[in-house]
Amino acid sequence: MNGLDIWMRENPIAYVVLGSYAVAFLIFAVEIAMVRHKRKITLQQVHLMRDAGDEE
């Protein structure tokens, strides 16, 4: 058994929480950040288009 095997058997809750739940919630956080960023960028594009239209 290597070091990780020994550690996971000695600390099963830490293994479950850090390995599964922390990773899953990190993925959710990154997804939320990406969705918010996409909306911000899209709104900027729409504003730019509207401003360009106003100048014509």
Partner 1 sequence: MAINWFKYSAPTTFYGLAGKLIPWFGISAAILFAVGLYIGFFVAPIDYQQGEFYRIIFIHVPASIISMFLYLIMAGYAALGLIFNTRLSSMMATAIAPTGALFAFISLWTGALWGKPMWGAWWVWDARLTSELILLFLYLGYIALHASIDEPRRADRAAALLAIVGSVNVPIIYFSVKWWNTLHQGSTIKFSGTSMHVAMQQAMFITLVACWLYAIAVILARVRSIILERERHTKWITELPEVK
Query: Which residues of the shown chain bind partner 1 in the complex (CB under 8 A)?
Result: 5, 8-9, 12-13, 15-16, 19-21, 23-24, 27-28, 31-32, 35-36, 38-39, 42-43, 45-47, 49-50, 53
Least distance CB 40 / partner 1 (angstroms): 9
* Closer by beta carbon to partner 1, 27 or else 56: 27
Decide if 8 contacts 15 (C-beta within 8 A): yes
Give me the torsion for CA of 48, 50, 52, 54, rounded to 10°. Answer: -150
Least distance CB 52 / partner 1 (angstroms): 11
Decide if 55 contacts 47 (C-beta within 8 A): no
